[in-house]
Amino acid sequence: MSQGTEAAPLRRMRVTATLTFIVVLGIYAGGALVIASTPWWHVIVLAPSMIAALWTATRWHTPAPPLAIAGALVLGEATWAVAATLAISPAAAFGISVTGAVTVSKLSRKKGVAAAVLVSIVLATGLLVLIRYPEQAPGYLLVAPIVTVVFVAVFWVNHTAWQLFAELDSTRRAETELALVKERFRFAADLHDIQGHTLHVVKLKAALAERLLRTDPASAEDELRQVQDLIAETIVQTRSIAYGQQKITVAGELENAKNLFEAAGINVRVTSDGDPAAAIDEYVSLVLREATTNILRHAQATHVAIIVAPNGISISNDGIPTGPLPDLHGLAVLDQRITGAGGALEVVKTANQFVTAVTFDLPNHQEHP
C-alpha cells in the first residue's frame, strides 16, 4: 500500500511509530556519542554509522534503495569492528544493530535465520575487543548482542503489527467495494425490472392503440393516455430507486399483473393461501413482476394462474413457445438474490405449461404473521 492511498489511521500509526523510533534512537545515539566523546575523534568514528542507522529507521515501513541499505550495513559493521578493536564503546554496535534489525523486519522469509545471523555477526565482531582490551569484553560480548536482540524484536513486532493493520484496512476496503458493487447490482436489477417491464407494456399498448386508431379512436386515445400515465409512473419509480425510496409489494404487483394480463386479453386467476411474510415480500414481488414481463414478452398465453402463499408464489401460464427457452436474464439475476436470501427459484417448462415459482423455508411464526 502506497502512502498516497493508505487510510488515515494507518498514516497516523506510521507517523507516530516513525517519530517514536527517531526520538528514542536519537536519544540513545546522542547519549552514546556524549559518553564516547573523549577523545573527540571517537565521535567522528561513531557518528556516520549512527546517522545512517537513524535514516534507515525512518524507512522501516517502506522499501529503501538496496544500495543505500547495503552501504549502511557495511558502514555499521566497519564502525563496530573499529570500535571493538579500539574499545571505543559497546554502543558503537548501534549502526549495524539498528540497520540490521530494520532489514530483518522487512524480510518476507526466514526472518529468524536472518536475525540469528545478525546477532552472531555482532557477537563475532565484538570478539575483537579480546585482542587488546579483554577486561572490557562483557560490554562488547553481552551488552551489544542483547541490545541487538532488543532492536530486532522491536522492529519485527512493529512491522508485523503494521502488516496486520494494513491487511485489516485492505479487508475493510474490499468489503466496502463489495458492498458498493452489490448495491450497484441491486440498483441495476431494480432498474431493469421497472423500465424493462414498462417498456414492454408501452410497446403492447402502443400497438393496440395503432390497431384501434381507425376503428375506435376513443379507445386508442385511452390506451395512449394509459401509456403516458405508465411512463410518468415509471419516472417516479426510477427517481425513487435513485434515492433509495423504492418499495414494491406483492399486493401492488398482483394488481398490476392482473391489469396487464387483462389488457392483453389473457385470462388470469389468482389464488391466495395467505400473504407472503414481510421478510420475503419484496423478493416475491420481484419474481411476480419478472414472470409477468416474461409472459407478455415471450408467450402467447391465454390463461395465467397465480398462487400466493405465505412462503412464496407460483405463476403458471400456457401458450409457451416451441423450441428452447428464451434467454430469461432477469430470472437468472433474481435467482442469485433469492438464493442469497435463503430462497429457491424454480423455472419449469412442460409440454403445455410454464411455471415460475419461488419458495422460502420460513419458521412457522413468520409464515403466519
Compute mean pLDDT per 10 residues along the chain, 369 residues long, and list them: 61 88 92 87 93 93 89 95 94 95 92 95 95 92 94 93 85 70 66 71 81 84 83 74 64 84 85 90 89 83 93 92 72 84 90 91 56
Q: Cell 379512436, residue?
A: 217
Single residue among 155, 174, 193 that ends a domain in this structure: 174
303, 306, 311, 316: which is closest to 271 by C-alpha?
306
Question: How high is the pLDDT of residue 367?
Answer: 45
248, 306, 249, 304: which is closest to 273 by C-alpha?
306
Q: Which residues fall within 8 angstroms of residue 293, CB to CB, at 6 or more apart?
A: 193, 196, 197, 200, 330
Number of domains in the chain: 2
Rounded CA separation 362/281 (Å):
12
Residue 322's domain is classified under what CATH number?
3.30.565.10
Report if residue 120 sits inside a domain. Answer: yes
Same domain, 124 and 258: no
Same domain, 152 and 46: yes
Question: How high is the pLDDT of residue 364?
Answer: 56
Report if residue 316 sits inside a domain. Answer: yes
Q: Which residues fall within 8 angstroms of residue 278, CB to CB, at 6 or more apart?
A: 369
Rounded CA separation 97/151 (Å):
7
HSE at residue 349, side-chain half, CA atoms within 13 A, is: 11
Q: All 3 cell numbers of residue 190? A: 431494480
Question: How high is the pLDDT of residue 183?
Answer: 54
Report if residue 222 sits inside a domain. Answer: no
Q: Beta-strand (E) ranges in the chain?
A: 267-272, 303-309, 312-317, 343-349, 354-360
Rounded CA separation 34/161 (Å):
34
11, 102, 113, 107: which is closest to 55 by C-alpha?
102
Report if residue 236 sits inside a domain. Answer: no
pTM for this predicted structure: 0.54
Rounded CA separation 136/8 (Å):
49
- Are 105 and 128 in contact by the 8 Å Cβ rule? The answer is no
Question: What are the backbone dihedrals phi and psi of residue 231, each rounded to the nearest 5 degrees, phi first?
Answer: -65, -40
Same domain, 135 and 24: yes
Report if residue 15 sits inside a domain. Answer: yes
Report if residue 192 sits inside a domain. Answer: no
Same domain, 24 and 167: yes
User: Residue 46 sits in which domain range?
Assistant: 8-174
